[in-house]
Structure 1
Amino acid sequence: MDSNKKYWKGLEELNNTPEFVEMNKHEFAEPIPIEDVLSGGGLSTKTPRRDFLKALGFGVGAVTLAACQKVPVHKSIPYLIKPEEVTPGVANYYVSSFEGQPILVKTREGRPIKIEGNPADILTKGGVSAQGQASVLDLYNSGRLQKPEMNGGESNWDAVDAFVKNQLAAIKAGGKKIRIVSSTVYSPSTLAVINGFVAAYPNTKHINYDAVSYTGIIQANQNSFGKAVVPHYNFDKADVIVSFSADFLGSWIAGEEHTLQYVSNRNAKSLEEKKMSRHIQFETGMSMTGTNADTRVPLKPSEEGLALVALYNAISGTTLPGTKKIDNNVLANAITIVAKELVAAKGKALVVAGTNDVAAQVLVNAINSLLGSYGTTIDLDTPNYKYAGNDQEFADFIGEMKRGEVDAVLFIDANPAYNYYKSKDFTEALSKVKLKVSFADQKDETAQLCNVLAPNHHYLESWGDAQVMEGYYSIVQPTINPVYSTRQAEHTLLIWSDAAVKDYYTFVRNTWDTAIFPKVGMAAGQKSWEALLQTGFVKAAAKPAGVYTFSKDLNAVAQAIVNQSPALTAKGNGDVELALYQNNGVGNGNKANNPWLQEMPDPVSKVTWDNFAAVSEKFGREVLKAEEGDVVEITVDGNSIKVPVLFQPGQAQGTVSVALGYGRTASGKVGDGVGANAYPFYGFRNGTFQTTTVATIKKTGEINLLAQTQTHHSYEGRSVIREASFKEYLKDPAAGSGRGEKKKDYNSESLWDDWERPQYNWVMAIDLNACTGCGACVVACNAENNIPVVGKDEVRRRREMHWIRIDRYYSFNDNGNTAVTKEKEIAKLTDLDNVSVVHQPMMCQHCDHAPCETVCPVLATVHSSEGLNHMAYNRCIGTRYCANNCPFKVRRFNWFNYWNDSRFENYLQSEYTQLVLNPDVVTRFRGVMEKCSMCIQRIQAGKLKAKIEKRPLKDGDVKVACQQTCTANAIVFGNANDPNSEVSKALKSERTYYVLEELNVQPGIGYQVKVRNINEQQA
């Protein structure tokens, strides 16, 4: 593709705004009040001479005096009887399961400190999401309920058991209803416990309630094929993928599993075999999946149903009744072209939709049936069990409470007081219930309304199991004794139902012996149980996917979709079409109290610590008369929220997108008051919760500067991204990399001597075609390397501490036309609807000719004989010369002692969160520079293990944290001196290039060119 193509990180850089220019004049953000930033005062870096002398005369002296004071002495108490499995200084790993995904839990001296994927897991091959990585931090949350409570005061388990059992017996005798409300339960043992409770109290009903619902898909499959399930999708078997607002690489159903499948048809191995899937995304707001699409077409929520009808017509060659012409010519043309591509890929095509509307999902089923997708790319016989919520059942349940028919409600991992769209209706109805029990581990919005709080264990303290897919079972086992006086919810239910077996561990074992081991062909007993606790999961023999043919009448379905479109169309007068979505961090809001996830930049917007109103720049400026950061009020049916505006390239005109999961009022000290709650904007239509509607929007006159990270570091216009089309790649595998016939020869003369690396040369390869931008590597690095959280204000000052960042670059979409010139790109600067995106992980490049090493006056940063750039923290005096000299802007300066300074206590500081620290990595102090170390502690551990086993270090013995968590395998690390290592082979690829190669700093990280499978006809 054209080497003159223009890339930019944000609209500030694209338009080269005065604020952006001024910000990048200053290498470092000095301490000033955040109010000055909000008022446009910028970040001052000037220190008057008099103030400087004051600092020398008083400030430094005071610090020196404080440093001389004695520190408190804490006496350590050694093991009286050392546990057999614990060896001080040596990590233990236990298998467990996070939300149904097999994982490994790393413990040190009995403390879980790190989550890793289980390499044998067939769904992710050892990858873990950002939420999975961050889940270990929740274990040490000091805001968790530490003992049961009853009627507003602290209690004990005996008193709670006696009270609840007495109440339940009375309710059973009186014939009133008991309801268990939970998020979808996919644990066989938990379901058995609930069934036992229902048997003990026959007036009980279990209601699955999911904050973000998939009832539309479940009901559509029931209507279409008589199977009320969420299918298992096989993106790896699809040559053409078309998605309508389904963020299948992120928050939709099973993002990590889909990522592994999706990338398998687009990574280096696939390209070497001269094959690559094609992905077309239709959506309102820019999603993470949309950023990875080959072709992305913006559409309004009111156009989505009409587009599906048009796609069905184009594929089937018929015209459904009531079909309306799509006014959007770009969308109409795209549908025509996409239909031809899908038909050409029949049997290897897949269409998915993120809508929760039953009629639209029925139409999607009909389209996939025409394409022969059932039995190949869609499997209805091996369904996904993670989502079974029934929206209509929950609506009926509220009606039961209003009528006074329910006397007891038990909430398990459900928080409808926060995430039900009519929370006032729910609260008023719940007030009529006598016994209200919450098993929440914190006093959340729903728990505050309950008279009994029976706090559940964290999953790392629990026994249990999971079945996320038919025939695939995983085990949950505790890795630490309960931190507080909590009790597992299942254990509590067994006691309350007077079950024969009240110990939940025993109950789980019995379930496996009697129900699960026989299904997977294993004998019951101790031997199978011990094998399970070593492998983490078992799988039954795979069932062949059945072929299903859609044969229903679509007339009524099409008419319902067409009739719905006008109700979703903005009519003017300040109206706008609204779409709600989840991001990769806080998700539906149940992760809102996790600081690692709050500070992880959103994959698309790079915003931290907030949700916002994403609108197109044209709509924002011309209709709202707003600038970025201006607060707008969005109103739907009398419910209003205030959020700042963000100009989002690729956002459909006349629409606004808002993230769910924010605006918590009782999540804990981290999540409370962060962002605004958008759940009241849900609608309930045709029996399901809907995430699209019409809203009014207006400016408030307030300003809330977003804490974004994407423009904190500038390359001053130098290109760091290389792209090629799949067509170009087939002609020349070196297309875009600069390694072909037109290779540029940069001056090889250097002021540095070459380094000898006799045994190890640690390097890295990053495949831009595999990286989806999810951010899991950022959180994994946080957990592994004790990286502190700094909070929203500090991020706004450009002081985030992440050692690895994922830069997101926009470019104008040239649709594969290599004749597009720089002048034509400049002429299209106002066309922000049609943009493409590239994600680029960026960390210390460990340059062989490292410019940082040259300028350090105290040799705090030095080169090793293994090709790494080391940091000696106890030498560093904080001159920041190294950061100033780094062309990649990957060094981080400690402005504060983040782990111990009281101003950061809301994020990490507490007597408990210190327990999550990795003892192999020192915590850095104020005034010290730090950056990626390539997980030097893991390198040393790998070498030590090989030495103990008296063998050479093998490729794969050392995996850095970012590499290990990446489901897409976008990051490869290893020894370049080994020609057979995976990294050596990756760096020999024709697609490999090095960022800012012209500077001759000789980075140790090579990138592989981004390749897009573009149809040049596609608009």
Structure 2
Amino acid sequence: MSAEDHEHHEHEDNYERAYGESAENAPEAVDDAPVAYGYWRSLREMEAGTATKSDGNELPPVPQVSDPLSRRNFFHLMGASMALAGVGACRYEKEEIVPLARRPEHQTPGQAQTYATAYDLGGVGHALLATSFDGRPIKLDGNTEHPFASGSIVPSSNATRHAGTSTFAQAAILHLYDPDRSTTPITKAGGSTIDAVKVALAELRKAGNIRVLSEGTSSPTVRELQRELTGKGVVWHEYESISWDNERLGTKLAFTRSVRPVAKLDRAETIVALDCDLFVEHPAALKYSRDFARSRRLGGTLGLGKMNRLYSIESVFSHTGAMADHRLGLRSELGLPFALALDAALGGGAAPTSAFLKEAKIKKFLDVLIEELQANRGKAVVVAGRRQPPEVHALVARINEKLDAVGKTLDYIEDPDLDRPSHLQSITALARDMQAGKVETLVIIGGNPVYDAPVDLDFAGALAKVRTTLHLSEYLDETSQKCTWHVPKAHFLEAWGDCRTWDGTVTIAQPLIAPLFGGLSSIQLLALLNESDRPADELIQKAHTTLNATGNWKQHVHDGFVAPAPPQPGTFAVGALPPPPLTATQQGASLLDKGVEVTFHYSPFSYDGRFANNAWLQETPDFLTKVVWDNYALVGPETAKRLGIENDQMITVKVGDREVELPCHTIPGQARSSIALVLGGGRTAAGRVGGGGTENAHSVGWNTNKVRMSTGFEIAMATSVTAGSGYTLASTQEHWDIRTGLKPSITQEGIAQRLPELIKEVTSVELATNKTWMAEPHQGYWDDQHVNDPSKRRGFSLFREKEYTGHKWGMATDLSTCTGCNSCMVACQNENNVPVVGRKEVMQNREMHWIRIDRYFGGTPDEPQVFHQPLTCQQCENAPCEQVCPVGATIHTDEGLNDQAYNRCIGTRYCANNCPYKVRRFNFLDWNKEWREARNKLRRLLFNPEVTVRMRGVMEKCTFCVQRIQNAKIHAKAVRRSERPGEVDAPLPDGDIVTACQAACPTEAIIFGDLADPNSRVSRLHADQRTYDLLPETYTKPRNKFLARVKNPNPKLTPPKAKAEAKGGH
């Protein structure tokens, strides 16, 4: 590890953590042999054959605080404090009050308002609703009225519409109030002004020979400005490091022009994802997640008793692979011969002769898949991912045509950017001209090509050969530092804009706050370059006159989109496809092939590096690895063993003559002979969080772009992989294990037997034919589990149980539709002012998230299954935490909420010790101390004013968004009084209260409501036969119940389960 790049990654001396080595003796899966499926959380646990290693304590040992105070210094400070106590207590801190001289129309002080807006990510638009509190935006959610972004999981005409969001959308608020954003234009000679920028742009127009390099965009207004500029001689280029251009090029091969496929997962009975993450990474992930959930529900869009079946073929575990009924771990480079075999079996071209297709496991998987696809013509769809080459996407188009999917489970729409070259072609041509000295002026709109352009293009060196360069960006990043001019870019919540969602719906972005740093939007800068100083909203209106839209401009702004929304799907026929050539590796490949492929994957922490300075994202655990604050190389256990590398070890990956050093993380399910490199790390000019900035902060992670070249941009072959020194990744995968409380009383074997009680699953056939399936896993732990009807179970409490006569708030979580996307976690952090603690504190079990998503593996390390379980405060009616608090800081309300009185809490942590679910969080330090510093004054605008900001020494946990409950009740009473004077009580219609996690969930896996209303959706879910409590033997009577996960496996690919023996384990 070089000292220059990785000095910041030295181990903390007082903390040591060991994952296990690779599973050397993992049992092999045998076809048609009974398999006893166990559950485990990490490879180390799987190897040991026991539960997670722990000393049995429910609370981790308290490590030394970050700022230890000696006894001598304590008395010095106490003496000074006592001397100043009288002076400090004389008066309150001075505050400035700036009242409004005139109240704005339709605005009530202290009352939140919502506005429709949108943002563009990677050239695809996403519709949002922004919540503004007294003029400052504080929360983002999905636009529930948008035709593409919203819908209902329940197939009913009167069902409430829902729109989820991604983690990137939820975290954009923190990005807005980031004090590290650029505040002023800068030239190489020093500071500048916006007026100086306008003068400079006028001079550049006169000089001519201008090139524009834009980040990916779907804005119709930008496209109109592009058309006008190219008519004046400006040459336009566009580049995104994470691009779906392989799909565009593939459809062009199939149809002679590029089109955009839009899958209809709510109509598909069989879904095949070929190296494609439909639910998080895909540009239409939110839509696909919702549609998948609609057809995943028994009695959903497919009809009574039917649900879809999902097949996933991929190299690295994705959210789609985790949800799949059947998953095949396969190197990404083998996607082409696999698609050829599928196409040939359905009547396409000649079948490939690749060796790996003849191996028993692959052959059986392929034969069963082909048989099902042929049986479900018109009811199946195949989707390929962005890493697959254009030839694969062309084959997939022909496969879908053979399956009669077009118009039924798949639509094609015209590509909005029909004539645009691919991003890789565009930046390669630009870099070549820059190196040749053919470019005199380059205007870069967004993006960061110095950091993420293919390394063999040497973009930084080429940029130095251009006489005048200007970069519009939100940060003074790596590219801006190399340019003649840097211009601060306005955040999408500060400027007018527009974009297109994946289906082509034109969506409007309106500003909610004046630019905090006086920046310009892309539209404004391009307008200046086009000799126009017209306001951005006028330019957008002008561009929209060509859309033949109905309605007026104000209506479009109010709704957030232009109607009629999407263009009509076209009819397309696949032409003749030339047989794609296979490499020698693809022809002779075996699952045990000695070669190692390298694939590049987006980062859940920073996307492609652009969000590296966002602490919310950096501290959100990856859905699979549970790693935070670092990127890494993912390696399978068997591959790691063959290469001689171990978990938590630095490795050097060499591709061609380039190499990068980064930590290795071994993970079950990773395809053999395949290494996945996560992008987005190693930024040197991201800010104080992500690296660089005014304080020269150390980089977070490693720059994997060092081995990403224009050839092998998505899939490359490693020249060598060598092991280095050790390195401990910060991971939460073994934190807050609710099984630790069981250890003092039972054996490790007994704990493993109890795990099926935590993560229940059932097949669709079992659910339909066996009404008592819930009682079958009983191991003698709790006799009443034999009774499937919760009302007949016995339970006893030493305390008098409370009777609830009013509202009874409850929640239901459907494990069948939870994809583990983490949106609920970031939404909760935003809504409830949950602090960030940093990498070092996470390693000491001090993370503060109110929601965690427990991830369990099932099966073997070679062919594991993945299970997600979102866990938050269970709002127990017989809450153990309330019984041990010595000061009554945690109490029960008349509506059944387990409330926390922060000003009473003295920090004994008895409540956390007595909580069987491990969902309480303690403020070991004052995490918000830095936010009170002058430089972070801006960030304080982010806080939700309806939620208390907690201090050091205080316990906190989920409140079921009590502030939203109270707001709904107040609003209902106000409406009631106006309609019926004298009546105080007002009913709350089901769906009026939506918690932050529920609003963010794309699949509506989380449902909140009033259990006192027997017709509410949550009441109906609580009465569902799949519903169960966590740890029912504790008799806590949780208000948050889970619905067992339902899978729909193909019987021909499912080995019979070995029936578990009944053991007490006590």
TM-score by length of 2: 0.85
Kindly report which structure 2 residues correspond to 1:12-23, keeping only aligned pairs within 5 A, or say none. Answer: 12-16=44-48, 20-22=52-54
Determine whether 1:592 maps to 2:616.
Answer: no
1:567 and 1:675, CA in 2 relative to 1: closer, same or farther beyond 3 A?
farther
Report the equivalent of 1:793: 840
Report the equivalent of 2:703: 677
Determine whether 1:360 maps to 2:392.
Answer: yes
Paired residue type of 2:938: Y
Paired residue type of 1:167: L
How many angstroms apart in 2 are the aligned matches of 1:858 and 1:28? 23
Report the equivalent of 1:30: 62
Kindly report which structure 2 residues correspond to 1:867-946, keeping only aligned pairs within 5 A, or say none. Answer: 867-901=896-930, 910-946=936-972
Shift of 1:446: 1.2
1:650 and 1:384, CA in 2 relative to 1: closer, same or farther beyond 3 A?
farther
Which residue of 1024, 1031, 1053 corresponds with 1:996? 1031
How many angstroms apart in 2 are the aligned matches of 1:384 and 1:602? 33
How many angstroms apart in 1 are the aligned matches of 2:856 and 2:762? 15
Paired residue type of 1:89: G
Contact 2:598/2:717, CA 8 A, preserved across alignment? yes
Contact 1:737/1:993, CA 8 A, preserved across alignment? no
Determine whether 1:262 maps to 2:310.
Answer: no
How many angstroms apart in 2 are the aligned matches of 1:969 and 1:1017? 31
Q: What's the secondary structure of 2:557's corresponding residue? A: helix
How many angstroms apart in 2 are the aligned matches of 1:137 and 1:943? 29
How many angstroms apart in 1 are the aligned matches of 2:635 and 2:1030? 32
- Larger mean Cα displacement after TM superposition, 75-84 or 949-958: 75-84
1:706 and 1:695, CA in 2 relative to 1: closer, same or farther beyond 3 A?
farther
1:151 and 1:915, CA in 2 relative to 1: closer, same or farther beyond 3 A?
same
Q: What's the secondary structure of 1:653's corresponding residue? A: coil
Which residue of 171, 178, 185 corresponds with 1:134? 171
Report the equivalent of 1:379: 411
1:23 and 1:64, CA in 2 relative to 1: closer, same or farther beyond 3 A?
farther
How many angstroms apart in 1 are the aligned matches of 2:428 and 2:353? 31
Q: Deviations over 1:147-197 (max 9, x none)?
A: 111224110122222123213312x2xxx3x22111222111121122223
Report the equivalent of 1:167: 204
How many angstroms apart in 2 are the aligned matches of 1:909 and 1:983? 45
How many residues are matched?
A: 960
Contact 2:633/2:665, CA 8 A, preserved across alignment? yes
Report the equivalent of 1:461: 494
How many angstroms apart in 1 are the aligned matches of 2:333 and 2:715? 12
How many angstroms apart in 2 are the aligned matches of 1:161 and 1:650? 54
Determine whether 1:301 maps to 2:332.
Answer: yes
Contact 1:768/1:1008, CA 8 A, preserved across alignment? yes
Q: Deviations over 1:187-231 (max 9, x none)?
A: 1112112222333x31x1222211112222111111111221332
Q: Deviations over 1:711-745 (max 9, x none)?
A: 44231434311000112122135634778876797
How many angstroms apart in 1 are the aligned matches of 2:797 and 2:390? 65
Report the equivalent of 1:691: 715
Report the equivalent of 1:109: 134
Shift of 1:83: 3.2
Contact 1:873/1:929, CA 8 A, preserved across alignment? yes
Contact 1:363/1:554, CA 8 A, preserved across alignment? no
Shift of 1:504: 1.6
Shift of 1:18: 10
Determine whether 1:90 maps to 2:125.
Answer: no
Determine whether 1:862 maps to 2:871.
Answer: no
Q: What's the secondary structure of 2:501's corresponding residue? A: strand
Shift of 1:378: 2.3
Q: What's the secondary structure of 1:634's corresponding residue? A: strand
Contact 2:131/2:138, CA 8 A, preserved across alignment? yes
Shift of 1:799: 0.6
Paired residue type of 2:282: W
Paired residue type of 1:768: L
Contact 2:505/2:567, CA 8 A, preserved across alignment? no
Kindly report which structure 2 residues correspond to 1:485-634, keeping only aligned pairs within 5 A, or say none. Answer: 485-499=518-532, 502-512=534-544, 514-516=545-547, 519-522=548-551, 528-540=552-564, 545-555=569-579, 557=580, 559-560=581-582, 572=594, 576-620=596-640, 622-634=641-653
Paired residue type of 2:524: H
Q: What's the secondary structure of 2:827's corresponding residue? A: helix
1:57 and 1:149, CA in 2 relative to 1: closer, same or farther beyond 3 A?
closer
Please, what is the CA RMSD of the aligned residues? 3.0
- Larger mean Cα displacement after TM superposition, 664-673 or 878-887: 664-673
Paired residue type of 1:290: G
Paired residue type of 1:677: N
Determine whether 1:983 maps to 2:1030.
Answer: no
- Larger mean Cα displacement after TM superposition, 332-341 or 638-647: 638-647
Q: What's the secondary structure of 2:926's corresponding residue? A: coil
Contact 2:503/2:566, CA 8 A, preserved across alignment? no
Contact 2:660/2:707, CA 8 A, preserved across alignment? no
How many angstroms apart in 1 are the aligned matches of 2:901 and 2:37? 40
Q: Which runs of 5+ in 2 are unaligned?
A: 1-33, 151-162, 692-698, 741-750, 777-784, 977-985, 1055-1066
- Larger mean Cα displacement after TM superposition, 968-977 or 675-684: 675-684
Q: What's the secondary structure of 2:669's corresponding residue? A: coil
Report the equivalent of 1:648: 667
Q: What's the secondary structure of 1:520's corresponding residue? A: coil
How many angstroms apart in 1 are the aligned matches of 2:775 and 2:475? 52
- Larger mean Cα displacement after TM superposition, 359-368 or 312-321: 312-321
Report the equivalent of 1:484: 517
Contact 1:127/1:965, CA 8 A, preserved across alignment? yes
Contact 1:630/1:699, CA 8 A, preserved across alignment? yes
Contact 1:771/1:970, CA 8 A, preserved across alignment? yes
Report the equivalent of 2:694: none
How many angstroms apart in 2 are the aligned matches of 1:180 and 1:583? 27
How many angstroms apart in 1 are the aligned matches of 2:77 and 2:1053? 63
Report the equivalent of 1:213: 243
Contact 1:150/1:452, CA 8 A, preserved across alignment? yes
Q: Deviations over 1:742-786 (max 9, x none)?
A: 679754111122212211000001110111100000000001000
Shift of 1:635: 1.6
1:759 and 1:25, CA in 2 relative to 1: closer, same or farther beyond 3 A?
closer
How many angstroms apart in 2 are the aligned matches of 1:966 and 1:419? 31
Shift of 1:542: 5.8
Determine whether 1:449 maps to 2:478.
Answer: no
Report the equivalent of 1:409: 442
1:268 and 1:846, CA in 2 relative to 1: closer, same or farther beyond 3 A?
farther
How many angstroms apart in 1 are the aligned matches of 2:202 and 2:329? 56
Report the equivalent of 2:726: 702
Shift of 1:56: 9.6
Report the equivalent of 1:78: 99
- Larger mean Cα displacement after TM superposition, 391-400 or 770-779: 391-400
1:1011 and 1:67, CA in 2 relative to 1: closer, same or farther beyond 3 A?
farther
Shift of 1:510: 2.4
Q: Deviations over 1:432-487 (max 9, x none)?
A: 11121111011111111111112221000011111224551111111011111212
Contact 2:308/2:1048, CA 8 A, preserved across alignment? yes
How many angstroms apart in 2 are the aligned matches of 1:423 and 1:465? 34
Q: Percent same amino acid among aligned pairs?
A: 32
1:550 and 1:163, CA in 2 relative to 1: closer, same or farther beyond 3 A?
closer
TM-score by length of 1: 0.89
Determine whether 1:804 maps to 2:825.
Answer: no
- Larger mean Cα displacement after TM superposition, 11-20 or 416-425: 11-20
Determine whether 1:637 maps to 2:656.
Answer: yes
Shift of 1:650: 0.9
1:10 and 1:491, CA in 2 relative to 1: closer, same or farther beyond 3 A?
same
How many angstroms apart in 2 are the aligned matches of 1:54 and 1:758? 57
Q: Deviations over 1:368-410 (max 9, x none)?
A: 2211222222222255779974321221111111111111111
Paired residue type of 1:637: G
Contact 2:42/2:733, CA 8 A, preserved across alignment? no
Q: What's the secondary structure of 2:437's corresponding residue? A: coil
